[in-house]
Each structure stands twice: as C-alpha cells, then as structure tokens.
Amino acid sequence: MDDEGEIADSIVRYFGRYGFRVSTAGDGAAMREVVQSDTVDVILLDLGLPREDGFALTRWLRERWRGAIIIVTGRGESVDRVVGLELGADDYVTKPFDLRELLARVRSVLRRTTAAPAPSTMSSGYAFPGFRLDLDRRRLTGANGTEVPLTSGEFDLLCVLVRHPNRVLSRDAIMDEMHGRTSGPFDRAIDVQIGRLRRKIEADSSNPQLIKSVRNAGYLFAARVDRA
C-alpha cells in the first residue's frame, strides 16, 4: 500500500513477474477492506497515506492481523524506525529502494511466516520455565496452554535465544542468525524487539530474569532450555 501511484504500479508489475498476486490500497479504509475480504500474507505499508497516519494503521494491523508488515517509506529517521518496529512491523525499508532488495525482504519474511510444518506426529520445539515454543506451528504457549501472540520477528528472535541458552549473543550475531543481515545494519531493531519480547514473557519487564542485558556485549537467555 503506497501513497505514490507510480511506485505502487512498479511494485505490482515487478512482483507479478515473480508469481506474486498483489492488491493495492490508496488509504486506510481500502486497506482494511482488502485485509478483511482477502487472504494476505505480507503488507507493504507506506507511512504517508492520506487521511490516516501509517503508524496508527500499523498498530491496527498488529492488534487484529497475524501477517507480516514491512513499512516502506521515505521517512528514514531513526525515531521513525524505532516507532514502527515498536508497533510490530517486521521490517522497515526506506525510499528510494531497489525492487530486487524489496523482493528479497518479502521472500525472507514469507520463509519465516509460512514455513510448512514438519510431517511428524509430535511437534518439535523447546521448553523453558513457564513456556513452550512450538517450532512446527510457530507458537509460544504459557504454562496454562494459552497462546502468547508473537510477531514473526519476535518469534524468530526467541528461537535464536533459546537455541543458545546461557550464552552471550551480540546484536550482530543475533541479526546474522535471524536475517543473514538482509535487514541492514540497524542494530537498534534488535533492542526494540527485545523490549517487546520481554513485555510478553517476563513477569516484570523492567527487571528481566529470562532475557538479560550484558553491558557492551549483547543479550543472554538466562534459563534452562529443554527440547520438547
């Protein structure tokens, strides 16, 4: 969804050549109609849309929709990136951009969010105090079996952490394992996602006991992790 018709048309044509079915929407109302009436895997969202703020739309989507959100905008300031990621966007691309890079980012998000479950009778995953992480179904459940809603980025981040318990991971190492650096060198994105993840799995996010910060080094997942 983009506020500049030429950019939207070029995305439609380019992605169509690679087998994608693309719908366009010129404002928030049209976007809501598409999301509610069609099957959508990824939304490319411009922040500068008429009549409604793009951040408000990001918040609306994340509260009601489980797909991936990639913000595509001319607003490249760090504060805008942080706000977009805090609201639940999975990636942030600034204009001007290369269509090949945008396609690679969309494919990367789709690989993470639409991977087919392994053909087995038991789900593979990890268990740590109070939670179970189901890799096949890409779900996190609490002790009472209630699902903890995670964005695709939060899920992938948690997977990296639980695979390396009680080991300090730098932001670079986390970014490399999550995306192979396709998201660019914006390490603040990791800090933002860590903050969001803490608010969902820590008893007190201001005093985290599971995801600990290690000064000038990175983060450590301080819990026993078992295969489940």
Cβ neighbours around 12 below 10 Å, total: 16
Dig out the tokens for 182 from the structure.
Answer: 């396709």
Is there a contact between 45 and 87 (Cβ–Cβ < 8 Å)?
A: no
Q: Write the CB contacts of 19 (distance below 8 Å, at least 6 apart in sequence).
A: none
Give the pLDDT mean for 198-215: 95
User: Who contacts 49 (Cβ-Cβ below 8 Å, separation ≥6)?
Assistant: 1, 3, 26, 27, 28, 57
Which of 53-62, 70-79, 115-124 comes out lowest in average pLDDT? 115-124
Apex 48 CA angle, 45 and 54, nearest 5: 50
Whole-angstrom Cα distance, residue 205 to residue 211? 9
* 89 or 183, higher pLDDT: 89
Residue 187 pLDDT exceeds 70: no
- Residue 120 has a pLDDT of 43
- List, in sequence order, every residue forming a beta bridge with 68; answer none if it has no partner: 42
Residue with tokens 């992938």: 156
pLDDT at 201 over 70: yes
3 state DSSP class of 102: helix
Class for domain 125-227, per CATH? mainly alpha
Side-chain-side CA neighbours of 175 within 13 Å: the count stands at 17
Greater model confidence, 108 or 168: 168
The CATH superfamily of 5-113 is Response regulator (3.40.50.2300)
From-to residues of CATH 3.40.50.2300 in the chain: 5-113
- In this prediction, residue 114 carries a pLDDT of 60
pLDDT digits (tens, 9 = 90+) for 134-178: 988 889 999 888 999 988 788 889 999 999 999 999 988 888 787
Start and end residues for every CATH 1.10.10.10 domain found in the chain: 125-227
Residue 118 confidence (pLDDT) above 80? no
DSSP 115: P
Q: How many residues does the chain have?
A: 228
pTM, full prediction: 0.64
Q: Do 142 and 148 meet the contact criterion of CB atoms below 8 Å apart?
A: yes
Q: Give the residue, 184 or 219, on which the prediction is more confident.
A: 219
Q: Which helix (H) or strand (E) holds 149?
A: none
| Chain mean pLDDT for the chain | 86
Regarding beta strands 131-134 and 139-142, do their DSSP bridges make them parallel or antiparallel, or are they unpaired? antiparallel
Q: What is the pLDDT of residue 224?
A: 94
Predicted local confidence at residue 206, as pLDDT: 94
> What's 128's DSSP letter?
E
